[in-house]
A and B are shown apart, each in its own frame.
Chain A
Amino acid sequence: MKRIAMGWVALVIAGLIAPFLVYPVFVMKVLCFALFACAFNLLLGYTGLLSFGHAAFLGSAGYIAGHTIKVLGFPPELGILAGTATAAVLGYVFGSLAIRRSGIYFAMITLALAQMVFFLALQMPFTGGEDGLQGVPRGMLFGVIDLRETMNMYYFVFAVFMIGFWIIYRAVHSPFGQVLKAIRENEPRAISLGYAVDKYKLLAFVLSAALSGLAGATKTLVFQLASLTDVHWHMSGEVVLMTLLGGMGTVFGPVVGAAVVMTLQNYGAEIGEWVTVLTGAIFVVCVLAFRRGIVGELAALFPVRKP
């Protein structure tokens, strides 16, 4: 437990001073993706369900937040709530369909459903098609805090991230989280112990989708843009990579994974198409030799002594 506490302290300190050391917009991007990856990890790492369609939640929440703020004139906090709620509803629909099958079928179903969302985002009039929703105003948070100031925006994003991260942490370390782990380890046994496994899976799916939506809506506010990139299947693959690289089923793994992948993309932009190749290569290496991820390997290097 001590190590987890140290992790929290490190995270808060790093989050508070980061914008003074690194370009703040980049840190905000990392935070949004870190929340996205943590939400995804709730499903893959703790429940053992591989969703290959999480971009649908990130992207659709972004579109709804962008549309409500830009066109309907919602204040930023309500726009983000609207986006999150949309992702939760979408998660309920996807989840109800996908949990009817397990294993790789689950992955294929979520991928196909997300592709449907991609086509809808491409064709529906309010999304702006290939151009996306541009120029979403950041506005005034609660009517008082001016989010056009980069530092205000940064600390708002950091607060959103910490709230989302705390929800996930609480969910994982609650009786609910224990049941999820039981399902991951041995589903027939969880069923025979009398747990309504499908309900737990669905709840985990909805929670994961909603928090992914929270990340997507916040990201739209940061970049003032919702685009097709966020609903494309490449994005679904990227979040799998962040989680796998950082460490599946670890609390801080996805945060580390997101930071590494984002840094790679940011500084790797000049190598162009090689980023895709490099991403693929990291996947292959992770799966073949490095399945515990960065945080998982570190934890294995320094085992906790049992009292």
Chain B
Amino acid sequence: MTEIFGVPIQALFGQLLIGLINGSFYAVLSLGLAIIFGLLNIINFAHGAQYMMGAFLAWIGMTFLGVNYWWALMLSPLAVGVTGVIIERTMLRWLYRLDHLYGLLLTFGLALIVEGLFRYKFGISGESYPVPETLAGGINLGFMFLPKYRAWVVVASLVVCFVTWYVIERSKLGSYLRAGTENPQLLQAFGVNVPLMITLTYGYGVALAAFAGVLAAPIFNVNPVMGSNLIIVVFAVVVIGGMGSIMGSIVTGIGLGLIEGVVKSGMVANLLGAIFDEVPIVGSIVYPVKLLFSPEASAVTIFVIMAIVLLLRPAGLFGRER
């Protein structure tokens, strides 16, 4: 079997695919966070809980109401989006004139409430959601086996990301949104209903999270804490990319997912070992770096990258200071 730096090629592509899938989720979630932050100046801590709600509503729909996957993919984000609209109308709107921190604290509280309610109702063990029949099975690409559903997840996430990017950067509606990010008072003076726009933006950002949740349901175990573990990684992604640009969030999300996959395959550690192990002093200096990028440490890869980025480019890769 062919090997690249001591990693079997099938294992490498397997990890790359997992990385690409994780990266798609990072992209969709950080995109939602970036849109919400742009207009509301609030970091939505409840994003992870809303992602989890998306997955759970799909499961509830299937188990109790017989709603199939494709309907769930539309209805679940819609339902979560409506709850988002209610939250914005009843709570978040009172916080816009205060320090940004209060928005973070309020949404943190909401995340705890949602997580606690689902844990009370469904326990911690989780439920499984079957892959829809049309997407069951996979394709043999010769160098690897590609499950159809996983390919669909990547394609669907990318499409949603690029449609969102296109609407915001290229359409009339998007120009209002960008204007609202720059100067809401002036935009309102031109007769645009800014409060409504803010409400709908929050609803859309939240719906994106739920959409990611439904996509994730057949891959991961659907459980009440699936979102809170993910959202912390997404925060690191957002710090690395900076929230200045939509395309930046998408690229950073997918890129970091792929890097995580490569690290998990063990290639980075092998490569560093191959180059530096023989060199006398440098070898021992590189050794801790090798440990940080070893497969066992892949859970912290993104946090390590975040620390490096903060040292070199404090504003993030695509960010600007504000």
B is bound to A? yes
Taking the closest CB of chain B, its distance from the CB of A301, in whole angstroms, is 22
- Complex: A165 Cα to B306 Cα, angstroms: 34
Q: Which chain B residue has the least Cβ–Cβ distance from A283?
A: B109
- Complex: A283 Cα to B299 Cα, angstroms: 30
Q: Is B102 an interface residue (CB 8 A)?
A: yes
B106 contacts which of A100, A237, A288 (Cβ < 8 Å)? Answer: A288
Tell me if A's interface is mostly helix, strand, loop or mixed.
helix
- Complex: A289 Cα to B110 Cα, angstroms: 15
Q: Is B238 an interface residue (CB 8 A)?
A: yes
Residues of B within 8 A of A287 (CB): 95, 102, 105-106, 109
Which residues of A (251-285) have their CB < 8 Å from a CB of B? 272-284
Do the beta carbons of A273 and B306 come within 8 Å of each other? no
Q: Which chain B residue has the least Cβ–Cβ distance from A49?
A: B101
Do the beta carbons of A283 and B239 come within 8 Å of each other? no
A105-B239 contact given A113-B303, A277-B120, A282-B109, CB 8 Å threshold: yes
A273 contacts which of B43, B120, B300 (Cβ < 8 Å)? Answer: B120
Q: Is A166 an interface residue (CB 8 A)?
A: no
Q: Which chain B residue has the least Cβ–Cβ distance from A280?
A: B112
Do the beta carbons of B235 and A244 come within 8 Å of each other? no
Q: Is B320 an interface residue (CB 8 A)?
A: no
Residues of A within 8 A of B106 (CB): 283-284, 287-288
Q: Is B94 an interface residue (CB 8 A)?
A: yes
Taking the closest CB of chain B, its distance from the CB of A211, in whole angstroms, is 21
Interface residues of A (CB under 8 A from B): 50, 97, 100-101, 103-105, 107-109, 111-113, 115-116, 119-120, 123, 233, 237, 240, 244, 272-284, 286-288, 291
Q: Is B311 an interface residue (CB 8 A)?
A: yes
**Pairs A–B under 8 Å by Cβ, sample size 14:** A50-B101, A97-B310, A100-B310, A101-B315, A108-B235, A109-B310, A111-B235, A116-B304, A119-B299, A233-B228, A240-B108, A276-B112, A280-B113, A284-B109
Residues of B within 8 A of A237 (CB): 108, 112
- Complex: A291 Cα to B112 Cα, angstroms: 19
Taking the closest CB of chain B, its distance from the CB of A94, in whole angstroms, is 9
Do the beta carbons of A107 and B239 come within 8 Å of each other? no
Do the beta carbons of B101 and A233 come within 8 Å of each other? no
Q: Is B116 an interface residue (CB 8 A)?
A: yes
Q: Which chain A residue has the least Cβ–Cβ distance from B90?
A: A288
B112 contacts which of A105, A111, A115, A277 (Cβ < 8 Å)? Answer: A277
A279-B104 contact given A97-B311, A112-B306, CB 8 Å threshold: no
A103-B100 contact given A111-B232, A113-B307, A277-B112, CB 8 Å threshold: yes
B239 contacts which of A112, A115, A119, A276 (Cβ < 8 Å)? Answer: A112
Residues of A within 8 A of B296 (CB): 123
Q: Is B126 an interface residue (CB 8 A)?
A: no
- Complex: A109 Cα to B236 Cα, angstroms: 7
Q: Which chain B residue has the least Cβ–Cβ distance from A44?
A: B101
Residues of B within 8 A of A116 (CB): 300, 303-304
Do the beta carbons of A280 and B109 come within 8 Å of each other? yes
Residues of B within 8 A of A273 (CB): 116-117, 119-120
Q: Is B111 an interface residue (CB 8 A)?
A: yes
Residues of A within 8 A of B302 (CB): 112
Q: Which chain A residue has the least Cβ–Cβ distance from B94?
A: A288
Q: Which chain A residue has the least Cβ–Cβ distance from B91?
A: A288
Select the residue from B37, B112, B117 with max chain A CB neighbours within 10 A. Answer: B112
Select the residue from B98, B110, B228 with max chain A CB neighbours within 10 A. Answer: B110
Q: Is B314 an interface residue (CB 8 A)?
A: yes
Taking the closest CB of chain A, its distance from the CB of B294, in whole angstroms, is 11
Question: Which 3 pairs between the two chains have the least Cβ-Cβ distance?
Answer: A283-B109, A280-B112, A276-B116
Do the beta carbons of A112 and B232 come within 8 Å of each other? yes
- Complex: A53 Cα to B189 Cα, angstroms: 41
Q: Is B115 an interface residue (CB 8 A)?
A: yes
Taking the closest CB of chain B, its distance from the CB of A149, in whole angstroms, is 38
- Complex: A164 Cα to B213 Cα, angstroms: 45
Which residues of B (99-142) have their CB < 8 Å from a CB of A? 100-102, 104-106, 108-117, 119-120
Do the beta carbons of B115 and A276 come within 8 Å of each other? yes
Select the residue from B109, B110, B239, B302 with max chain A CB neighbours within 10 A. Answer: B109
Taking the closest CB of chain B, its distance from the CB of A25, in whole angstroms, is 26
Do the beta carbons of A276 and B119 come within 8 Å of each other? yes
Residues of B within 8 A of A233 (CB): 228, 232
Residues of A within 8 A of B110 (CB): 280, 284
B232 contacts which of A115, A276, A280 (Cβ < 8 Å)? Answer: A115
Do the beta carbons of A277 and B43 come within 8 Å of each other? no
Taking the closest CB of chain B, its distance from the CB of A285, in whole angstroms, is 8
Q: Which chain A residue has the least Cβ–Cβ distance from B109?
A: A283
- Complex: A97 Cα to B314 Cα, angstroms: 9
Do the beta carbons of A279 and B303 come within 8 Å of each other? no
Residues of A within 8 A of B94 (CB): 288
A283 contacts which of B100, B108, B114 (Cβ < 8 Å)? Answer: B108
How would residues 188 to 228 of chain B score, 1 for a CB under 8 Å from any chain A CB and 0 otherwise? 00000000000000000000000000000000000000001
Taking the closest CB of chain A, its distance from the CB of B273, in whole angstroms, is 20
Select the residue from B43, B104, B105 with max chain A CB neighbours within 10 A. Answer: B105
- Complex: A119 Cα to B232 Cα, angstroms: 12
Q: Which chain A residue has the least Cβ–Cβ distance from B242?
A: A105
Residues of A within 8 A of B117 (CB): 273, 277
